[in-house]
Amino acid sequence: MFCEQCEQTASGDGCHQWGACGKSPEVNTTQDILVYCLRGVAPIVLTAKKLGINTHDLDVFTCESLFATMTNVNFNSKRFTNYIQQCLEKREQLKAQIQAISPENAHWSELSNYQPNWDESLVTQGQEAALPFLSQIDHNIDVFSLKLTVLYGIKGAASYTFHAYELGQEDDVVYTFIHEALAAIDRDDLDLPDWVDLALKVGEINLRAMELLDQGHTSTYGHPIPTHVPLNPRLGKAILVSGHDIKQLCAILEQTANTGLTVYTHGELLPAHGYPRLKEKYPHFYGHYGTAWQNQTKDFHRFPGAIIVTTNCLMPPHETYEEKLFTVGPVGYPGLNYLAANEQGNVDYSPVIAKANSLPGFTEESEPRQVMVGFAHNTVLSVADTVIEAVKQGKIRHFFLVGGCDGAKPGRSYYTEFVEKVPEDCIVLTLACGKFRFFDKNLGQIGELPRLMDVGQCNDAYSAIQIALGLANAFEVGVNDLPLSMILSWYEQKAVAVLLTLLYLGIKNIRLGPTLPAFISPNVFKLLSDHYHLQAITTPEADLAACLSGA
Ligand code: FS2
Ligand code: SF4
């Protein structure tokens, strides 16, 4: 197998024997075949779109199945075999539609006609299918590096697009580009600058995908407002909801209303507490339990109720809690309870409710603790005048956006140390699961403003961007001229998409860690650092000093 799509890739240069995430070679290969099939489907979809044929089904399917191939989403090779079968069926139906109205356009490449032999091992076939692509590493490692950057960025953008679709927000421009990017992977007529442009275009499209998702969230659940979230559980039976999917969280809240169960968030669902229409409507939507995804084996083992994982990051489950663990949507693991949606896309959570009722729930009270969420763009920009005044009076010297993914590597303590060392006249904005290293620290206030503000999930990078653009507008300067530094941690493909968005926007001096992506070749990294001053993190002290001096 070969996979280097995430930060924990083995030995920093690729998982070859078994995924450091727990992904088996079999799962990796069926994922490769699925992506191979989607690359073949993309030119057919693009032809169909030009002919005015409705491709919505394959647009959404492509996003969902790319999402399923992301790190820590699905470990079940049977699910990928099923995705491959569906993909090929949908492909042939679309070909037939094109043939019927425009036979002169119905000529397909070998890739678009690919058909696995279902009587033989998919693992062997997947390895063979991947070979021509992987051999490109020897021909032009920089183009290969950018092809992987585009592919991984598209996976991240596809996951946001899928969430936005679930909330009724779509844009055909996004779907079309996802197919264009998939089709481009097999082009050999593009040179390095073309691939750089394509990678930046992924960033542009991802910005639109995140905007759609932001519209989906805010139009459905209201703009997030500053909200205290208890970290201490309350007595009674309980359900824990993990992942990023607020629509599924809402469905769970609806189905558990008046059952006596208490619903807690885990991981990247913490910011959901800031949405007023969830908090107002569901009094049993109470608090947050646990910290970042890589601590879930401990958190899930201890949680005395049922648990649902709605998206990444799922880790291979321990036997101590797998019986009370459920997955939905693109998430899966062999043997785990999977709740399939019905034809209308709705999930019946009664097995989770039954499981929660069979478990003891919380039987002892603990010391009250809380954190604050809800500092999304609407809230922060509503106090822009106060912020500007505080900057002008010298009360606020600098803003730091310290955000991104968390992970198990010890080097990630850099981010905690960085935040601890930020001077008292500076504000820290944070987002995504990396914040769990410091989210419960009391950094105090500057005037009315908290020094630590949680902007939201990883996809709420859109909100952070809006805050930066709004402040730049208010100060009448460019974003790069603001007293703002971005200190980012990455782990999986959504972070790749967000990084490409920031580069597309021309944001400079981003510091990235804990290690640089293995799929970025030295030349490509040099190119990015020459143009955007993208830098690897060093030490908290040195980086902090550099940021405060404007570097
Ligand atoms: Fe954290 Fe995992 Fe949010 Fe990433 S919960 S590393 O998927 O997307 O950030
Ligand atoms: Fe390795 Fe990450 Fe790929 Fe898993 S997703 S196999 S850890 S590179």
End-to-end CA distance of the chain: 41
Together in a domain, 76 and 172: yes
pLDDT given for residue 58 in this prediction: 98
Region of residue 329 (phi > 0: left; psi between -120 and 50: alpha; otherwise: beta): left
- Cβ(67) to ligand 1 under 6 A? no
Atom of ligand 1 nearest to the CA of 268: 5
In a domain, 315, yes or no: yes
**CATH number of the domain bearing residue 114:** 1.20.1270.20
Residue 5 banded pLDDT, cuts 50, 70, 90: very high
Give the whole-angstrom CA distance, residue 375 versus residue 456.
Answer: 7
Ligand 1 centre to CA of 48 (Å) is 34
For the segment 365-418, what is each residue's pLDDT rounded down to a tens digit? 999 999 999 999 999 999 999 999 999 999 999 999 999 998 888 778 899 999
For the segment 262-273, what is each residue's pLDDT rounded down to a tens digit? 999 999 999 999
Together in a domain, 167 and 260: no
Residues 282-289 have a mean pLDDT of 98
* Nearest alpha-carbon partner for 308 in 350, 274, 260, 272: 350
Give the whole-angstrom CA distance, residue 156 versus residue 150.
Answer: 10
pLDDT given for residue 139 in this prediction: 80
Beta bridge partners of 265: 241, 288
In a domain, 126, yes or no: yes
- Cβ(267) to ligand 1 under 6 A? yes
According to DSSP, residue 118 is labeled T
- 462: pLDDT strictly greater than 90: yes
- 361: pLDDT strictly greater than 80: yes
Q: Which ligand is nearest to the CA of 74?
A: 2
What contacts 24+ positions apart, CB below 8 Å, involve 139-144? 141/521, 141/523, 142/192, 142/521, 142/523, 142/524, 143/190, 143/191, 143/192, 143/195, 144/521
Residue 328 banded pLDDT, cuts 50, 70, 90: very high
pLDDT given for residue 396 in this prediction: 96
> What integer best gives the mean pLDDT of the chain?
95
What distances in angstroms separate CA 289 from CA 15, 327, 370, 461, 464, one per listed residue?
32, 18, 11, 23, 25
Residue 66 banded pLDDT, cuts 50, 70, 90: very high
In a domain, 130, yes or no: yes
Give the whole-angstrom CA distance, residue 356 versus residue 361.
Answer: 7
* Nearest alpha-carbon partner for 313 in 518, 3, 7: 7
Q: Report how many domains make up the chain.
A: 2
H/E stretch holding 389: helix 384-392
Q: Which ligand is nearest to the CA of 266?
A: 1
In a domain, 414, yes or no: no
Model confidence, pTM = 0.96
What distances in angstroms separate CA 535 from CA 520, 529, 538, 546, 550, one per listed residue?
13, 6, 9, 12, 14
- 356: pLDDT strictly greater than 80: yes
pLDDT given for residue 29 in this prediction: 92
- Of the candidates 335, 358, 381, which is a domain's last residue? 358
In a domain, 528, yes or no: no
- Work out the percent of the chain whose per-residue pLDDT is above 70: 100
Range of the domain at 306: 227-358
CA dihedral 496, 497, 503, 507 (to 10 degrees): -90
Together in a domain, 15 and 74: yes
- 133: pLDDT strictly greater than 80: no
Residues 31-40 have a mean pLDDT of 95
Atom of ligand 2 nearest to the CA of 19: 6
Together in a domain, 148 and 294: no
Together in a domain, 190 and 232: no
H/E stretch holding 163: helix 141-166
In a domain, 532, yes or no: no
pLDDT given for residue 481 in this prediction: 95
- 168: pLDDT strictly greater than 90: yes
* Nearest alpha-carbon partner for 229 in 279, 183, 180: 279
In a domain, 538, yes or no: no
pLDDT given for residue 360 in this prediction: 98
pLDDT given for residue 525 in this prediction: 96
Residue 84 banded pLDDT, cuts 50, 70, 90: very high
Residues 178-202 have a mean pLDDT of 95
pLDDT given for residue 86 in this prediction: 98
In a domain, 366, yes or no: no
pLDDT given for residue 410 in this prediction: 77
Contact at 8 Å (CB) between 124 and 26? no
Q: Determine if the peptide bond prior to 313 is cis (ω within 30°).
A: yes
**CATH number of the domain bearing residue 326:** 3.40.50.2030
Together in a domain, 174 and 85: yes
Together in a domain, 112 and 258: no
Residue 108 banded pLDDT, cuts 50, 70, 90: very high
Together in a domain, 172 and 291: no
pLDDT given for residue 8 in this prediction: 92
Ligand 2 pocket by C-beta < 6 Å: which residues? 3-6, 8-9, 15, 19-21, 23, 71
- Of the candidates 358, 391, 409, which is a domain's last residue? 358
- Of the candidates 171, 191, 219, which is a domain's last residue? 219
Beta-carbon contacts of residue 408 (< 8 Å; ≥ 6 apart): 8, 294
What distances in angstroms separate CA 81 from CA 28, 75, 126, 186, 343, one per listed residue?
12, 12, 11, 23, 20
Together in a domain, 146 and 240: no
Residues 125-140 have a mean pLDDT of 77
Together in a domain, 159 and 291: no
Ligand 2 centre to CA of 80 (Å) is 16
Contact at 8 Å (CB) between 90 and 48? no
Atom of ligand 2 nearest to the CA of 72: 5
Give the whole-angstrom CA distance, residue 510 versus residue 503.
Answer: 9
Token couple for 433? 């699961």
Of all protein residues, whose CA lies closest to atom 9 belonging to ligand 1? Answer: 405
- 80: pLDDT strictly greater than 90: yes
pLDDT given for residue 126 in this prediction: 80
pLDDT given for residue 167 in this prediction: 97
Binding-site residues from annotation for [4Fe-4S] cluster: 3, 6, 15, 21
- 551: pLDDT strictly greater than 80: no
Residue 121 banded pLDDT, cuts 50, 70, 90: confident
What distances in angstroms separate CA 270 from CA 1, 346, 359, 500, one per listed residue?
35, 23, 23, 25
Residues 437-455 have a mean pLDDT of 94
Together in a domain, 340 and 243: yes
Together in a domain, 198 and 76: yes
